[in-house]
Amino acid sequence: MGNKNEVAKNGKILILKTDDTFEFRDYEGYLSIRDAVGGSIDVLMSQDMPISKLDVGFEDIKLDFFCNDEFLIDDRFDKVNAIATFMRENENPVYGDVAVLISMPDGDNRGFGIKGKFGDEKGVITERRIIAEAMDNMIKTNKDYLADIHKDLDGLENKPKPTMELGTFDNLDEFFKS
């Protein structure tokens, strides 16, 4: 944990909650992600965000989404994250809170910027504000669909069972090369 200037420099982490809300917290590195997802971390997906089209002085960004890598086997995670599941186009449901950060070209991540380029009638335009407005709009527009995801997938009885693909190998050397 750093001083206030260091936290501001690192920006904010976006947390998608299982109750179809979101929040921002100070981003302070790996521990912030771990705290947000409730334990061990797995990269869930990456997604491009073309914010340059808004013509507010920001370049496009790529978002990395992180979840708890044990959500399928851990009974603490009994509520589906309808927002993340919807954003994945229902590829597979996601349970528990999901952390979102900006992906850097070097493979590292950073939080959403809190310093603005310029202002408008609502205040200073920041990456954090752009993402918050996009999330608000997505949640409001898809409220009924998100409710259906919860109806179908909330609860341990509706949670998919973990699966593991097993390969066949002629010998141990072949197994360790795979």
Please tell me the distance from the alpha carbon of residue 79 to that of residue 8, in angstroms, as a whole number. 32
Phi/psi of residue 121, each to 5°?
-65, -20
pLDDT tens per residue across span 12-28: 999 999 999 999 999 99
The pTM assigned to this predicted structure is 0.81
Average pLDDT over residues 70-82: 91
> For the chain, first and last CA: distance in Å?
40
- Residue 148: count of CB within 10 angstroms of its CB: 13
* Percent of residues, the chain, with pLDDT higher than 70: 78
Which residues, in sequence order, are CB contacts of 19 under 8 Å at separation 6+? 79
Tell me the β-bridge partners of 66.
43, 99
Whether residue 83 contacts residue 22, with contact meaning beta carbons closer than 8 Å, is answered with yes
